[in-house]
Amino acid sequence: MSDGKQLLHLVFGGELETLDGTEFRDLSKLDIVGIFPDYASARSAWKAKAQSTVDNAQMRYFVVHLHRLLDPAAT
C-alpha cells in the first residue's frame, strides 16, 4: 500500500457482446473475481483470469480503480 492508504481495486469480467465493445452479453453471469488492496495484487488476479479464458475471444476482465470512485479528489 502507498503511504498507508488503501487503494482498493475491483477485478471482474464476463463475455462481451462484441470484440470492440464493453457491453456484457449477460450481466447475471459476470465473474466478480474480488476486491484487492493495491494495483499489483489486482493486476495479478486479472492476469490469471485473463490467461485462463484466452480461448474465448469474447471474454474480458477489467481492473476498476475503486479508490478513485470513492474519493475522486485523491490520486
Q: Could you give the 3-state DSSP secondary structure of residue 15?
A: strand
- Residue 50 structural domain: 9-70
**Number of domains the chain is built from:** 1
Q: Which residues share a beta bridge with 12?
A: 32, 62
CA 39 to chain centre: 10
- For residues 64 and 26, what is the distance between their CA atoms, to the nearest angstrom? 19
Q: Which residues of the chain have pLDDT under 50?
A: 1-2
**What is the CATH classification number for the domain harbouring 21?**
3.30.70.2400
| Residue 39: inside a domain | yes
- So what's the pLDDT on residue 4? 67
